[in-house]
Amino acid sequence: MTSTGREHGREMTRREMLRRFLALGLALPGGTALLAACAGGQQPTPTTAAPTQPPAGQASPTAPTTGQAEDKLEIFSWWTNPGEADGLKALFDLFSQRRPGVEIINATVAGGAGTNAKAVLVTRMQGGNPPDSFQVHAGQELIGTWVVAGKMEPINDLFEQEGWNKVMPKTLLDQISHEGKFYSVPVNIHRSNMLWYNKRIFEANNLQPPKTVDEFYQVAEKLKSAGVTPLSVGGKDKFEVPHLFESVLLAVFGPEDYPKLFGDPGMWESDARIQEAIDMLDQFLSYANEDRAALSWADAAQRVIDGSAAMTIMGDWAYGYFINKGAQPGQVFGWVPAPGTDGSFLWLSDSFGLPVGAPHRNNAIEWLKVCGSREGQDAFNPKKGSIPARTDADKSKYDEYLRYSIERFAQDKLAPSVVHGAAANEAYMTAYNNALNVFSASRDKDQLKGMLIEAAKEL
């Protein structure tokens, strides 16, 4: 068998790669023709126009585009919500200081976790119309989707020049590397397994934030009897219930065994703890609002600070959202790790890379320098609700929650997020998300188990 990629310590065969690329509508490295069909069916429209310039030819990693007037920079992301959009703007402002004459095209496609944006990106990459740089999660979302397909330029020279490999944790560097080369610049680290709660509601009902799953059930029961929606859950962006389930999986399996789920597909069928996790999710949802499909993660978070629900389990981009809304941390809202996951940090990282054929390659490189700089990270992360990917950040710029998170990341057991690209390939993520979104409406536990076993075939 020809081995073409390595994943979770096992070789990925050419056949497996082909299946994945077919699922994504991408071409295999080394020649197979691009496919017309794109995964995901109907495509949302980007909020800004595609660049007017035709894409440049395939740029060699060592030969920067020169002599070409570069008056634009197009950055593609899904950061449209309060908090995340503020962080992005902070990076744009820094870029503009460095390249004042350059027009920034903020190509966003709304939808948390990039479920919509990623489908649009596939179409653009397939059509030879890449943005200059795009948001991509460190891990398999970067490596399995784009790097092994030959769609990204290695950026080792930049890493060397900027010294990034000396100031970023190895766990993270491993997730952006393939065959000894670096392929993106991590701008942050987010924590997925966080519970945010309304302080006033907890105080009024004489409750403590729940640490364990049993405590969560007790608190939820009391809130329910008091007429308060215990748990606020979204569903409109098609990642919110899958997101909740990864915290549940972590609570059930623990940080040692949770990662094994994405390396040993058989566990989804044979391990009895899967049923336990499904039952737990079902019980969590019994304390949640019914109108999930109409709410984005941000709408669900809003309910916590406006007091119409008591808790939400969401990544710490919710923190960026709360700050933007002027909610005082520690007064209006508080935080604890998701029930049963204290001591574990379910992590993910947003990064930006250099697509092959970036139309404004020199500007893209300058953008990456901003993303990787200490100044850039310290401007972006306090607004975004994430901690810097660099370990030499100026901690005085980070407030109480973020200082806590920096400390937890250094001390906790780390586990990779599946919904946000770190743990598994895109085809698996799509199937896993689909299973959980179907369950959010149907609450059919047997069907969920079957769909999760089916999804595991993509691992």
CB of 420 to ligand GAL, least distance (A): 4
Query: Quick one: which of 90, 348, 418, 459 contacts ligand GAL (CB under 6 A)?
Result: 348
Footprint of ligand GAL on 299-328 (CB under 6 A): 315, 317
* CA-wise closest residue to 350 among 128, 175, 157: 175
Query: Quick one: which of 85, 90, 113, 278 contacts ligand GAL (CB under 6 A)?
Result: 113
Footprint of ligand GAL on 373-432 (CB under 6 A): 420
Query: Quick one: which of 112, 144, 154, 359 contacts ligand GAL (CB under 6 A)?
Result: 112
CB of 7 to ligand GAL, least distance (A): 20
Handedness of CA 126, 150, 172, 174 (dihedral sign): positive
- 83/359 with CB nearer ligand GAL: 83
Query: Quick one: which of 5, 46, 51, 114 contacts ligand GAL (CB under 6 A)?
Result: 114
Give start and end residues of each alpha helix (H) in 146-239: 156-162, 164-167, 170-175, 199-204, 213-225
Q: Which residues contact 338 (CB under 8 A, 6 or more apart)?
A: 193, 194, 195, 247, 250, 251, 313
* CA-wise closest residue to 261 among 23, 63, 458, 109: 458
Told to check if 352 binds ligand GAL by CB under 6 A, we report: no
- 277/418 with CB nearer ligand GAL: 418
Strand partners for 335: 196
CB of 376 to ligand GAL, least distance (A): 15
Whether the CB-CB separation of 307 and 331 falls below 8 Å is answered with: no
d(CA 416, CA 184): 17
CB of 263 to ligand GAL, least distance (A): 22
CB of 315 to ligand GAL, least distance (A): 6
Footprint of ligand GAL on 128-147 (CB under 6 A): 137
Q: How distant, in Å, are the alpha carbons of 110, 170, 372 from that of 362? A: 27, 28, 16
Told to check if 292 binds ligand GAL by CB under 6 A, we report: no
Residue of minimal Cβ distance to ligand GAL: 112
At 277, which amino acid appears? Answer: A
Q: Which residues contact 350 (CB under 8 A, 6 or more apart)?
A: 135, 136, 137, 138, 186, 187, 188, 190, 386
CB of 99 to ligand GAL, least distance (A): 24
- 51/114 with CB nearer ligand GAL: 114
Q: Which stretch binds ligand GAL (CB under 6 A): 31-39, 106-114, 178-186, 335-343?
A: 106-114
Angle between helices 445-455 and 426-442 (to 10 degrees): 170
Tokens of 292: 């999930």
β-bridge pairing 72-77 and 133-137: parallel
Told to check if 365 binds ligand GAL by CB under 6 A, we report: no
- 77/198 with CB nearer ligand GAL: 77
CB of 159 to ligand GAL, least distance (A): 21
d(CA 222, CA 228): 9
Footprint of ligand GAL on 169-228 (CB under 6 A): 190
Q: Which stretch binds ligand GAL (CB under 6 A): 63-71, 107-115, 153-161, 324-332?
A: 107-115
At 58, which amino acid appears? Answer: Q
Angle between helices 14-24 and 426-442 (to 10 degrees): 50
CB of 422 to ligand GAL, least distance (A): 10
Q: Which stretch binds ligand GAL (CB under 6 A): 63-71, 109-117, 199-207, 273-281?
A: 109-117
At 339, which amino acid appears? Answer: P
- 26/113 with CB nearer ligand GAL: 113
Told to check if 350 binds ligand GAL by CB under 6 A, we report: yes
Give me the residues that bind ligand GAL (CB under 6 A), please: 78-79, 84, 112-114, 137, 190, 315, 317, 348, 350, 420
